[in-house]
Structure 1
């Protein structure tokens, strides 16, 4: 099987802990180079046996032996480096959220289209098979007609004084960092877009970012959806689908990789009975292999740029509603 050669832009923790190892576990990718502006590229290259080290992102993008780049830079830098990578002919996997507003996302997708490069936002969770199983259960009618979907993602953020998640100039805030997941899962599981949205936030008085956010959406298909996210609550990473006959709960929705073998869990309560289904998937490897397969087949990934724009539109609407205190029509 043909392998594509990856370049990594930055030594970010997510790259070291998840994506570089996933590329190395994949059947169709190899990590060929890494670049860092911090001077740590050599250290990380030695750790992961990466053959080529660059001290600037530009030098990596100029390497003709790199086919695809992974960009885990801070949110406010995504637009700049996605566009630069595209103009160098590199295919791109970019961490979420890809931008800090929909205008940036639209420009990034447009440039990638113009340069004929594949671009995908790294919502890795969607490649876990538990979500396809949830859709199957819904389609079977076991929980009846879906009336409500509730999504949550939170954790208690330590060391706030030195964390970029607290910096508004770098795209900080709970909605960008973790809230984007429940917003995405609502749209993904329901296969529907919101028509109205209301959101409220708790703004940190020192840093000026949303430390927590809460909201409601009415979807095109008539289903109601609620979401919440926070840097100020205990660990939660779940969603619930509530129907007229039962409930589906997915308690390991976004990070099942922290469980042995990437084991996801689905709890179905219907007809007075409850059961558990365990499904294992290496979601980071699936994500890597999917974008490489899409590049080799010269076709859009299952999560193309146009869907990224839609999710960014919803995030923008949340911030508009939080600022104005009003319902936003999408």
Structure 2
């Protein structure tokens, strides 16, 4: 393999056009050489973004032997199928979150990747922003005493819900699997612990059956608690707090610092002072370079398959809780 990973993209989804493909073009160790679309827009998008090849089917990308890896920004319900197809074509994979619609699906993807010796990473790009490493360091240093509670909110008002695939239940729609998956992921990442139970309530859209809002409460074996909110009905927020016995850490641009020019803030408050630290990065470029480096050097990426599996277990349990109106014990064994 060359020193640049050659990427193909399955679909002309807006996240690919507006964020991920331009980021791959900025990366030092990656390049996008092909894009595909079933809508006939591949050639138009390829020309606009300076991509060498345009295909009218996803299979053509997978059959292209010059392509090392694929990025999959398809609807959630198609992630499993095309990740497995890509694995059997020996393509490494970056797949949008959530990786699939169930933990069983994730295990099937994992087996396909192991059988074909390919790398895969679920695209929780927020992890690569340095603000989160700073939060973890502050916790480790005891800056807020003993951690007691984690609170996270990722919401926005979905205006085009009549035509947006996020409102299609059969495609894996709903606020929990969309923005709520970040809340769950960050809770587990920052606390470095798996929840043991969840009690969740949701506002369900009568027409589509998807959750417009979910509010969930988690408990941990250590005694820590967490409260998470996702919504398509609220003003935009993407923040979390870590509350301890002696202070609190707030991260106001936790999941989309790119909407603030790449700016991240970590605000530490104690009884005697408040301190704000700022961090900058090119989030999507860092994601592109990270997964490409992992591929080139045969190293496990920061967001592992085990992590993706565990995250899906929590999402499944949360859905079960608000569906059946009951507290659910979370099984964390793979």
For residues 138-197 of structure 1, what are the alpha-carbon distances to aligned partners after superposition, in whole Å with 9 as ceiling and x for unaligned? Answer: 111111110000011000000111111111011110001100001000000011001111
Q: Following the alignment from structure 1 to structure 2, what is the Cα–Cα distance between the partners of residues 20 and 247? A: 37
Aligned partner of 2:296 in structure 1 is 296
What is the CA distance between 1:221 and its match in structure 2? 3.0
What is the CA distance between 1:258 and its match in structure 2? 1.0
Aligned partner of 1:277 in structure 2 is 277
What is the CA distance between 1:254 and its match in structure 2? 0.2
Paired residues in the alignment total: 329
Would you say 1:136 and 2:120 are equivalent positions?
Answer: no
What is the CA distance between 1:230 and its match in structure 2? 0.2
Q: Following the alignment from structure 1 to structure 2, what is the Cα–Cα distance between the partners of residues 305 and 24? A: 26
What is the CA distance between 1:324 and its match in structure 2? 1.4
Would you say 1:6 and 2:7 are equivalent positions?
Answer: yes
TM-score after normalising by structure 1:
0.98
Q: Secondary structure at the match of 1:233?
A: strand
Aligned partner of 1:201 in structure 2 is 202
Aligned partner of 1:323 in structure 2 is 323
What is the CA distance between 1:288 and its match in structure 2? 1.1
Q: Following the alignment from structure 2 to structure 1, what is the Cα–Cα distance between the partners of residues 224 and 163? A: 40
Q: Which runs of 5+ in 2 are unaligned?
A: none
Q: Following the alignment from structure 2 to structure 1, what is the Cα–Cα distance between the partners of residues 109 and 250? A: 35
Aligned partner of 2:266 in structure 1 is 266
What is the CA distance between 1:114 and its match in structure 2? 1.1
Aligned partner of 1:24 in structure 2 is 25
Aligned partner of 1:228 in structure 2 is 229
Q: Following the alignment from structure 2 to structure 1, what is the Cα–Cα distance between the partners of residues 294 and 52? A: 25
Q: Which runs of 5+ in 1 are unaligned?
A: none
Q: Following the alignment from structure 2 to structure 1, what is the Cα–Cα distance between the partners of residues 109 and 264? A: 33
Q: Which stretches of structure 1, 4 residues or longer, exceed 4 Å deviation after superposition?
A: none
What is the CA distance between 1:222 and its match in structure 2? 2.5
Q: Following the alignment from structure 2 to structure 1, what is the Cα–Cα distance between the partners of residues 288 and 307? A: 18
Would you say 1:124 and 2:108 are equivalent positions?
Answer: no
TM-score after normalising by structure 2:
0.97
Aligned partner of 2:110 in structure 1 is 109
Aligned partner of 1:309 in structure 2 is 309
What is the CA distance between 1:271 and its match in structure 2? 3.0
Q: Following the alignment from structure 2 to structure 1, what is the Cα–Cα distance between the partners of residues 253 and 144? A: 20
